[in-house]
Chain A
């Protein structure tokens, strides 16, 4: 009674309209600042990968991260966002009036629509688009590091367009939206995108790596792995810390808030949660991941920090559900698993993933979704309140694995056949920076002989070993895979 009188008084005074407008503007500001914070992810990826690269490949490595923004932004605007808006039901059943869960959203995602142009009446569409755009850049950056020091910049950009503006966003439409068929029918739950961002980017990257081949000299004639020394481990660790900072923005942007429409914070499936709950999970995810990475790698700095990332990715899918203690325990297993899987990929599979992206993002992305099926079974998900189940999570994994792996494999195979995937071996040996930019980017420092770590751990000068690997490949010997 009192509240209705109060509401009527507010309405008469026009206060209700102003409160609604303020709420919309707060929503606009919230997503805007998540975008600002998420830029740090890309600063971090750039520093991380450039630090891992040898001195002769620094700028060509960093430039991949910078130009990701140049190509994914327009492609995501012109068709990527449309994929998200219109393919939630698998195929847009009612055209631009689709999907049923969010009527008319499809029509607002076309680049000529009101939803993607400036409008004084709309305070949410553009910032919401931008948050998703930053997720798209992230998928490209995840792949970027794995391919460094031998992939052509242009080949990477073409692959990134397909991954960032088509593959991952199709996955997101199916399993990371309020109307996605995997969620509305099977209760698929991946609230902060363990699989739809990280797992999918990792699987796509594995497909590319199989065609790209290892760096010259990575494996000896018996297939044992050598290691290249990063030119600046401090830069790499700082980059990872920047990525972690940006992840808080990423986590926040995965929630939905609009106080005059919804009663509180919601996850991407429009199920209730809180910002505090997911912030606790990400923080404990780092703690557990660092711990797991440290012990599994016996204190290796690179794998300790990568373990933190792996830990967070392992608990992201259930971040809106998990208790902090559960997140701590699960992320420790994720951090350890990333080290073991990464070592197996390098030494067992003999796939040269320069930064461990397939293990950290790919494996842990899938692992995170599996964990939700085990530890959050029965949790009501989405607008249909379908309970989370192990089978539903497996359904999502089975749908996304081929959807991610096959485009990466097929496109990189086509680029390889056109001789557009890999730089010429002569350029790879000399370093990509001189070919791409005609510069040494540390001109004031003496250029010391390159060092390589042999399978037995001994550090030796790399010159003759790399030349021998190059000559072996040129002579058609099968011991070192450097096919263009």
Chain B
């Protein structure tokens, strides 16, 4: 039964579909450009999103006064 499958014909049909075997085609170039845009945007996004989170948390901790920074005092008298 399986010998009657028109596998070669199906293979040809699949190979002609635009996402398959479409090397150096307009569709492939467009997909590459879109993928590169997502790649770069995500890297920028990772930086910006984290920057905001960390700055907010650090400001909140400073406001809470948990980590009071001692300012350097004047030198002892007589020195």
Contacts and interface: CB of A to CB of B under 8 A. Distances in A.
A435 B54 contact: yes
Interface string A51-82: 00000000000000001001100110110000
- Most A C-beta atoms less than 10 A away, residue of B24, B54, B57, B66: B54
Contacts of A158: 43, 47
User: Taking chain B's interface residues, is the majority helix, strand, or loop, or is none over half, making it mixed?
Assistant: helix
B58 to A, nearest CB: 4
Interface string B6-26: 000001001100011111110
Contacts of B29: 112
Contact of A118 (B11, B19, B50, B66): B19
Interface string A410-427: 000000000010011111
Contacts of B72: 475-476
A304 B35 CA distance: 44
A117 B23 contact: yes
Interface string B51-68: 101110110011000110
B77 interface: no
B47 to A, nearest CB: 4
A117 B15 CA distance: 11
User: Taking chain A's interface residues, is the majority helix, strand, or loop, or is none over half, making it mixed?
Assistant: helix
A78 B43 contact: no
A74 B55 contact: no
Interface string A300-334: 00000000000000000000000000000000000
A157 interface: yes
B43 A426 contact: no
Contacts of B25: 112
B71 interface: yes
Interface string A146-172: 000000111101100100000000000
A112 B43 CA distance: 22
Interface stretch (A221-229, A288-296, A351-359, A466-474): A466-474
A431 to B, nearest CB: 10
B69 A74 contact: no
Contact of B23 (A113, A161, A467, A470): A113
B43 A161 contact: yes
Nearest to A108: B23
Contacts of B71: 475
Interface band, chain A: 35 or more
A117 B47 contact: no
A424 B50 contact: no
B66 to A, nearest CB: 8
Contacts of B21: 114, 117-121
Interface residues of B, number: 37
A92 interface: no
A303 to B, nearest CB: 33
A435 B57 contact: yes
B25 to A, nearest CB: 8
Nearest to A73: B39
Nearest to A475: B72
B46 interface: yes
A423 B46 CA distance: 14
A434 B72 CA distance: 30
Interface of B: 11, 14-15, 19-25, 28-29, 32, 35-36, 38-39, 42-43, 46-47, 49-51, 53-55, 57-58, 61-62, 66-67, 69-72
Given A114-B24, A423-B54, A436-B54, 18 more contacts: A71-B39, A71-B43, A74-B35, A78-B36, A114-B23, A117-B19, A117-B23, A118-B19, A118-B20, A153-B46, A154-B49, A420-B47, A424-B58, A427-B61, A429-B67, A435-B58, A470-B67, A471-B69
22 contacts: A71-B43, A111-B32, A112-B24, A113-B23, A118-B19, A120-B14, A120-B21, A154-B47, A154-B49, A161-B43, A423-B54, A424-B54, A424-B58, A426-B61, A434-B57, A435-B57, A435-B58, A436-B50, A436-B53, A436-B54, A471-B67, A475-B70
Interface of A: 67, 70-71, 74-75, 77-78, 111-114, 117-121, 152-155, 157-158, 161, 420, 423-427, 429-430, 434-436, 467, 470-471, 474-476
In order of increasing CB-CB distance, the 10 nearest A-B pairs are A424-B58, A114-B23, A435-B57, A426-B61, A154-B47, A74-B39, A154-B46, A474-B69, A112-B28, A154-B50
